[in-house]
Structure 1
């Protein structure tokens, strides 16, 4: 039997080995006949999709109400497209101007600015642009507002001379035949007829009108005129709902025609056809003898501050679509044509406000720890019925309006208030030496400590309630004093509650603005008050967004530092 077993052993082992190898190399199948790995992947993918569907409403809510506003704020802090969108020709022309020359830009820049400004005034956009640039240089807003009312007269001297030369220049039909693409004219007439029929039939008419198109070749011979008249025609159509074929062009269009014809040649005019040549050639020959008025004189007559090169340098400096100017202003710097420089000393307020906000938030946080820890300790060690009753008193401020609580502190802290009256009554303070406790940092700290104290007590109480009393009794039974048992055994277990309370109180206090606005005066306001001012009063949303972004970055940095020093895992809400 031994020999048979020996002889059969290798063969048997070989057969079993082959069978085992076959099992290892062949795919493991699931019950449905598919490979097991593929079935597992499908099952996991289905579970992930199901989980995603469950959290999708919350995810969408967070994206819409939290992520999107923050992204919009970040974009507004660098966005500056209003200058280039409102003054597209001027921003290009100013690229070649040297702001160190000490003189106004030349006629090419002023002409481009004239066309831009008259279009912006017709669209009612020049005041918004003036407001934006006024953040960088005081007084520019009034420049744009006053000049916007007069810019449509720039070029009247040329209008009168063209009309005196050929009265047809005053007729809208003359401009249409010279400038309009014949295909557009036919489409526009058809559109007008369809709209009139719809109005007569009292039915809705939603077909968009075809926008004005300049005739091919005109822009090659009369570039400024084609550009200015095309702008005029499209504004007449869209903004004014008028027929450009029935409207006389702006006076600046005649300025553009004069400038183009002064540089045109007979050969270039001839390329526009016989009809256009018969109209333009006499004008081209006559413009050399026209009476002229320098554009710089027109602007200075409208508002003498246009002669200041710094005005044009400011427009040049803020022409790009994106700017760091808001962030620079947030740290008391300013962007100038010559680079970055410090703000005037009497305008450096934001770094002071950032430092004050951080300092007072830390003081409020510390005050809440000192006041909240004993209260939470007492609540956690009293019988349940008593602690629940006292906990209602802690929560009572949440049932009172924030505005009411802050106003109450104004009554308590003012010089003729309750606290000063009590101090005078008991003789601690003289009647003529009442304490100033309102409209300063002290008033803000007191009021905000009272408002935020529950946010410190609740995390502390919830953590302390989970600490077994037997730990302290065991320490005492081993010979520890009351203080040693508390400090070495009880306090370390309450640190997570302290961490949670500190984060809640600090983040809430650093963004508060109602209470500091009411009781802080000039020395107790936070950076958030300035952000609220720029959003609601000055409407400088870019600067408000930059200040908010910096505040967000400071909070994230402090959160990161806290995580490194203490560990966010040690924070607990119980």
Structure 2
């Protein structure tokens, strides 16, 4: 039988008698295995460096075993406590026993640290109670513990322990939304003088949006010029666009700290151009306006860094637009401005969407630039995450901030895609 011949049963078979369809399926499987082998290293890299950290972050935002592990007897007894009055003697006895064990294991500081997140100043009292509880030999423990510190005679303290007794808690997520659980478990807003995290999130989104708009306003005409200029000239100009990538972000930000300082280049330019005099005359400033450690400096520095990220996607789309479209529009009676707005601009919207979205998402994670050139009211979510990890050693808080920022980004991306997403773009 020759290869590909038809057998008596009407089935195409190979030279060895195997049905041709079977041979084709085997060949397809081999090709898929080869393709999977080529993709596997990249897939593994993404899982280890991207997906795994996100899963760990999500887990740390709700996992908090400090109270459950170090006050197990107290947590067990408080499960049946109604929370209206002080618990009975067995709860105080369990607390004294748990504090003794925690003092021996040197974990009482973890209990104090965790409760201090909800009751300010209780950490030192927990440490003192741990040392003194270790000396108690017999009851009654209720009077003894209250004598050690009056805080054990307050219902709120016991309610907080009961609330924190689960290894999985919404405390960190709620705290980063300026909310908390009340004594009865209901949600309530924290006092106004302690509500800061929602403002920080809105500030982060606002700065990211402002920088995105600035890069679009500056980058769109430059991208148009590069796309319509002869290739030789455009290649030279593109070098200047890519020049910021030749130096590190830290170096560029440090350069802006020098430019923005009092008496720096920007201050001299304001004086030389008469802008300072105009502002003085209008009563908008008294002398040279302060630029360093302001929102203005933060936005300018971030715009300089992010400009290529917005410009390049727009340029790549503009290069694919044939000039015949504009010539056809003009030949049909359209003015240059009308033809540009109705024919050319709609075709560039995919690049605008990609560039703006890339810049916006990157801006949400900025830390170095706001820390160096921005003031205290210009710090973004990333700065608070860094403080929570490096200064407070509070991984739950840092993870919760990361989760909230991730959720906010996904929500905004969903809304953005629904309103002006690429799948809704049509030529005008």
What's the TM-score, normalizing by structure 2? 0.88
Deviation at 1:545, TM superposition (A): 1.3
What secondary structure, in the 3-state scheme, does the structure 1 residue paired with 2:62 have? coil
Separation in 2, partners of 1:82, 1:27: 69
Separation in 2, partners of 1:499, 1:428: 35
Deviation at 1:28, TM superposition (A): 5.4
Matches within 5 A, 1:240-255: 255=138
Separation in 2, partners of 1:353, 1:513: 13
Q: Cα gap change, 1:561/1:30 in structure 2, threshold over 3 Å: closer, same or farther?
A: farther
Gaps of 5+ in 1: 1-21, 156-254, 256-292
Separation in 2, partners of 1:381, 1:37: 53
Q: Which has the larger radius of gyration?
A: 1
Query: Are the aligned partners of 2:353 and 2:421 in contact in 1 as well (CA < 8 Å)?
Result: no
Deviation at 1:42, TM superposition (A): 3.4
Query: Are the aligned partners of 2:93 and 2:142 in contact in 1 as well (CA < 8 Å)?
Result: no
Q: Cα gap change, 1:34/1:371 in structure 2, threshold over 3 Å: closer, same or farther?
A: same
Separation in 2, partners of 1:384, 1:31: 57
1:481 lines up with 2:335 in the alignment: yes
Match of 2:248 among 395, 401, 407: 401
Match of 2:153 in 1: 307
Separation in 1, partners of 2:35, 2:407: 32
RMSD (Å), alpha carbons: 2.4
Separation in 1, partners of 2:257, 2:23: 69
Separation in 1, partners of 2:169, 2:21: 54
Separation in 2, partners of 1:397, 1:108: 67
1:149 lines up with 2:131 in the alignment: yes
The superposition leaves residues 44-76 of structure 1 with CA deviations (integer Å, 9 ceiling, x where unpaired) of 333322222221111111111111100011111
Match of 2:96 among 114, 118, 134: 114
What secondary structure, in the 3-state scheme, does the structure 2 residue paired with 1:72 have? helix
Deviation at 1:365, TM superposition (A): 0.7
Match of 1:239 in 2: none
What secondary structure, in the 3-state scheme, does the structure 2 residue paired with 1:85 have? helix
Match of 1:131 in 2: 113
1:438 lines up with 2:292 in the alignment: yes
Deviation at 1:32, TM superposition (A): 3.5
What secondary structure, in the 3-state scheme, does the structure 1 residue paired with 2:271 have? helix
What secondary structure, in the 3-state scheme, does the structure 1 residue paired with 2:17 have? coil
Separation in 1, partners of 2:106, 2:11: 74
1:498 lines up with 2:352 in the alignment: yes
Deviation at 1:91, TM superposition (A): 0.7
1:68 lines up with 2:52 in the alignment: yes
Match of 2:283 in 1: none
What's the TM-score, normalizing by structure 1? 0.67
Separation in 1, partners of 2:337, 2:151: 75
Match of 2:397 among 514, 525, 543: 543
Gaps of 5+ in 2: 1-7, 281-285
Q: Cα gap change, 1:382/1:527 in structure 2, threshold over 3 Å: closer, same or farther?
A: same
What secondary structure, in the 3-state scheme, does the structure 2 residue paired with 1:341 have? strand
Deviation at 1:36, TM superposition (A): 4.6
Match of 1:563 among 401, 417, 421: 417
Deviation at 1:27, TM superposition (A): 5.7
Matches within 5 A, 1:18-417: 29-101=13-85, 103=86, 105-155=87-137, 255=138, 293-339=139-185, 340-417=187-264
Separation in 2, partners of 1:558, 1:530: 21
Match of 1:517 in 2: 371
Separation in 2, partners of 1:438, 1:505: 23
Query: Are the aligned partners of 1:456 and 1:502 in contact in 2 as well (CA < 8 Å)?
Result: yes
Count of residue correspondences: 411
Query: Are the aligned partners of 2:262 and 2:291 in contact in 1 as well (CA < 8 Å)?
Result: yes
The superposition leaves residues 291-349 of structure 1 with CA deviations (integer Å, 9 ceiling, x where unpaired) of xx521333234333232222221111111121111111121111232222110110111
Separation in 2, partners of 1:135, 1:525: 22
Separation in 2, partners of 1:560, 1:301: 57
Q: Cα gap change, 1:564/1:32 in structure 2, threshold over 3 Å: closer, same or farther?
A: farther
Query: Are the aligned partners of 2:93 and 2:141 in contact in 1 as well (CA < 8 Å)?
Result: yes
Deviation at 1:39, TM superposition (A): 4.0
What secondary structure, in the 3-state scheme, does the structure 2 residue paired with 1:153 have? coil
Deviation at 1:140, TM superposition (A): 2.4
Query: Are the aligned partners of 1:353 and 1:527 in contact in 2 as well (CA < 8 Å)?
Result: yes
Match of 2:275 in 1: 428
What secondary structure, in the 3-state scheme, does the structure 2 residue paired with 1:334 have? strand
Separation in 2, partners of 1:97, 1:484: 74
